[in-house]
Amino acid sequence: MLTRISSRFLRSVKNEKGVLAIEYALLVAFIGLVVVAGITLVGTHLNTWYTNVATFIGTLASSS
């Protein structure tokens, strides 16, 4: 199984179209990684923001 995959990979590398396909696949994987990291970062900041808003509303409700 592994030798079959490695032989297909080597044939793809020798073929110029295969090299392009591998480059595009790596580019898509990198873009996906950046998107996931960005969404995680934004999600964390949104969670903090909503927590702060909820705390503020809670203090307003308890003080009145």
Domain ranges of the chain: 2-63
- DSSP 8-state secondary structure symbol assigned to residue 1: -
Q: Which two tokens stand for residue 48?
A: 């903090």
For the segment 41-63, what is each residue's pLDDT rounded down to a tens digit?
A: 999 999 999 999 999 999 998 87
Tally of CB atoms within 10 A around 12: 15
Apex CA 5: angle with CA 22 and CA 26, to 5°? 20
Helix spans in 1-64 (H)? 2-14, 16-63
Task: Answer yes or no: pTM beyond 0.75.
Answer: no
For the segment 31-40, what is each residue's pLDDT rounded down to a tens digit?
A: 999 999 999 9
